Amino acid sequence: MIAAVREEAASETDWLARCRAGDAVAWRRLYDEHFPLVFRLSIRMGASEREAADVAQEVFLRVWRGLGSFRGDSLFRTWLYRITLNEVSRVAREGAVRRAFGALLALGSREEAPPARSPDRLVEQAEAFAELEAILARMKPKQRTVFVLFEVEELPLERIAEVLECPLETVRSRLRHARAEFERLRRQQGLVRAHLQGETR
């Protein structure tokens, strides 16, 4: 694990230096490789598709301006997560963020065409995405952030602590509360759905 992190950091140092030197090919690689991450994280934090595109544009503008001051104390991706979360928060404070989590949750793998699914399966998946979107939208922002980074983005707790610039124990505590809150909201939503289904019969 440590060796892999060191290898990743060494590789980053090389092509980030090329970006700083004005290498257009290196910058294009940085953008193409990390745009899906920024866009997906923005969506999962509550931005609409259009807003996520605007967030991504601003994030990479900030990355371009800040590359010279990036010291490499953390991995580039950790820095990128931090910038993205800050930008999504800024947009949210301005009242421009809309909830659209489910619409692009399946962005995960663009390399392979998805297998054909039955209509029933597509309906089930759409309902699951909608339920997840609704639950995340009701969670407290700090808990939702930790929950998405750990459960969806699958970042280790140590990396999340770096991204959020807070103690590891704080991350653990937020995740513990976030999981409990997620489960409470999931059960609550299930009861509401069951009640509505009962009324329609």
pLDDT tens, 142-199? 999 999 998 888 899 999 999 999 999 999 999 999 988 988 888 887 665 655 555 5
Please give the mean pLDDT across all residues of the chain: 78
- Three-state SS for 94? coil
Rounded to the nearest angstrom, the gap between the alpha carbon of residue 104 and the centroid of all alpha carbons in its chain is 11
Count other C-beta atoms under 10 Å from residue 200's C-beta: 5
What is the third-level CATH fold of 1-105? Answer: Rna Polymerase Sigma Factor; Chain: A (1.10.1740)
Taking the C-alpha atoms of residue 13 and residue 16, their distance in angstroms, rounded to an integer, is 5
Angle at 56 between CA 171 and CA 76, to 5 degrees: 55
- pLDDT band (50, 70, 90) for residue 45: confident
- pLDDT band (50, 70, 90) for residue 46: confident
Tell which wins on pLDDT, 16 or 95. Answer: 16
What is the third-level CATH fold of 118-201? Answer: Arc Repressor Mutant, subunit A (1.10.10)
Of 16-20, 105-109, 154-158, the range with the lowest mean pLDDT is 105-109
Q: Which two tokens stand for residue 171?
A: 């991350």
Residue among 106, 178, 104, 191 at smallest CA distance from 145: 178
User: Which DSSP state fits 95?
Assistant: T
CB 78 within 8 A of CB 159: yes
CB 102 within 8 A of CB 187: no
Of 42-46, 73-77, 92-96, 143-147, the range with the lowest mean pLDDT is 92-96
Contacts of 63 (CB under 8 A, 6+ apart): 30, 80, 83
Q: Which two tokens stand for residue 113?
A: 């065409």
Helix axes 24-44 and 49-66, enclosed angle (nearest 10)? 140
Please report, rounded to a whole number, the percentage of residues in the chain having pLDDT higher than 90.
Answer: 32
Ordered by start, the domain boundaries in the chain are 1-105, 118-201
Q: Which two tokens stand for residue 161?
A: 């602590």
pLDDT at 201 > cutoff 70? no
